[in-house]
Amino acid sequence: MSFFVPWLISFTERDDKEIVMIETMSVQSVLKRAQIAGILERTCQELELTEAQFELAKNRYETAGVWLAESDEPLIRGAEIYPQGSMSLGTTVKPLGRKEHDLDLVSLLRHLVRSVSPASLKRAIGERLRANGHYRDILEEKPRCWRLVYANEFHLDITPSIPNLACGRGGELVPEKNRPEWKPSNPKGYRIWFEQRAQLKPRIRLTEAEFAKMRAQVEALPEPTAFKGLLRRTVQICKRHRDVRFSTRESRLAPISIVLTTLAAKSYAYCATHFSYDTELDVFLDVVRYMPAFVERRMVDGHERYYVWNETTEGENFAEKWNADPRLAEAFFAWHKAAVTDFEQLVLLAGLDQMGRELGRFLGEIPVNRAINALTQAVSAARTGGRLSVVAGVGLTTGTPAGMPVRSNTFFGR
């Protein structure tokens, strides 16, 4: 029997009495972890593209897509435009210290073959965009793509691509940075691959009775108390932790998002299918812990080489640059160690203020303070609405009639 409940993903009834020997966590620990997950969830909501921004971006890139497709230039006539990366995966994170999200798009030309050079295709796209008064002044050239800069909103990065006929999985070819050749990629396949992993439900080890009791108490806490999409949130938290860490370090050494995303997805799939957990927060912690296990290492000519394979195409190693510059690999492992240390000590903290300060230190003060503020507002709204209670062993609750109601009062004094 299996239930779906937002804060605990799933519950599987135990028929094996031996397993009952596993000691589950105290209610207090479960509640604390649910609340930490809730603050992390709220922080991610502050960092990601809002639904309105998403719709606006979609509108903008679709319009640009039509403009490209209607070109008389045979190279780009019929171009299809679609999102890749964080926008298509649902893992956007606002860059530090700037308002604009970076959104990656692919402009696929289905009728072209390898003999067309990436440079000529990119040039044709640039010319077509420049021919439109709306785009002329907001167009910027990047090494592999064209960027449309919508100030205060987002950057739309348009990368040209063509079908990869050698790939049996519907892959594409995209320009390689600083080189005149095409390289294999598979944005659509990657999205499906990521989605399949995100849909896995980790196992939670609680008896039905424990589960029912804890659920009632968790649901009474001020919301949110759960992650909306554990893998996506894990990716966003890791990316944000990286952004904050490298804001005071050499930023070109920061692990790239696709490496963090791929390792988190592989680790998540492994943890969800091999272990069972008390809470979602424990799943999150384990997923981060196991990330480096999915970096493949090989000794080549006496040197350690690193591979983070794109499983949806042949020959795309997301960690390829690590092999040219070992400092990139070192920076990843050092980031990972710091992230695990920072995330693991959260459960040891006591005090809304301590939690807020620590999270603010490694995820940034602005989104974390907003998340804390949302929690305070939830309590205050329940108080005003006469829904606030104190439940012994839980504390302030906003979602249950049980416990001692907090009657109207006026704090007095200096």
Binding site for another protein (CB under 8 A): 28, 31-32, 34-36, 39, 221-222, 349-353, 355-357, 360, 365-366, 369, 372-373, 375-376, 379-380, 383, 388-390, 392-396, 404-414
Q: Which is nearer to another protein, 296 or 353 (CB)?
A: 353
Cα 117 from Cα 3, distance rounded (Å): 53
Name the β-bridge partners of 397: 389
Taking alpha carbons only, the member of 63, 85, 74 closest to residue 144 is 85
Q: Which is nearer to another protein, 149 or 347 (CB)?
A: 347
Q: How far is the CB of 28 from another protein (least distance, A)?
A: 6
Taking alpha carbons only, the member of 223, 240, 208 closest to residue 96 is 240
Task: Supply the DSSP string of 12-43, one letter for each residue.
Answer: E----GGGGGSPPPPHHHHHHHHHHHHHHHHH
Q: How far is the CB of 268 from another protein (least distance, A)?
A: 25
State yes or no: cis peptide before 224, omega within 30 of 0. yes
Q: Which is nearer to another protein, 5 or 56 (CB)?
A: 5
Q: Which is nearer to another protein, 32 or 241 (CB)?
A: 32
Name the β-bridge partners of 276: 203
**Angle 230-246/352-363 helices, nearest 10 degrees?**
70
Instruction: Report CA torsion sign: 117, 120, 121, 122.
Output: positive
Q: Which helix (H) or strand (E) holds 183?
A: strand 182-185
Q: Which is nearer to another protein, 89 or 378 (CB)?
A: 378
Q: Which is nearer to another protein, 113 or 404 (CB)?
A: 404
Q: Which is nearer to another protein, 129 or 359 (CB)?
A: 359
Cα 288 from Cα 264, distance rounded (Å): 7
| Cβ neighbours, 10 Å, residue 54 | 18
Cα 344 from Cα 161, distance rounded (Å): 41
Q: How far is the CB of 153 from another protein (least distance, A)?
A: 21
Q: How far is the CB of 266 from another protein (least distance, A)?
A: 31
- Given the structure tokens 């503020």, which residue do they identify? 373
Instruction: Report CA torsion sign: 38, 40, 46, 50.
Output: negative
Q: How far is the CB of 155 from another protein (least distance, A)?
A: 24
Q: How far is the CB of 278 from another protein (least distance, A)?
A: 14
Q: How far is the CB of 223 from another protein (least distance, A)?
A: 12
Q: Which is nearer to another protein, 151 or 350 (CB)?
A: 350
Q: How far is the CB of 203 from another protein (least distance, A)?
A: 23
Q: Which is nearer to another protein, 175 or 360 (CB)?
A: 360
Residues contacting 142, CB < 8 A, separation 6+? 157
- As given in the structure block, the two tokens for residue 344 are 């693991």
Q: How far is the CB of 98 from another protein (least distance, A)?
A: 16
Backbone angles phi, psi at 106, to 5 degrees: -115, 135
Residues contacting 311, CB < 8 A, separation 6+? 193
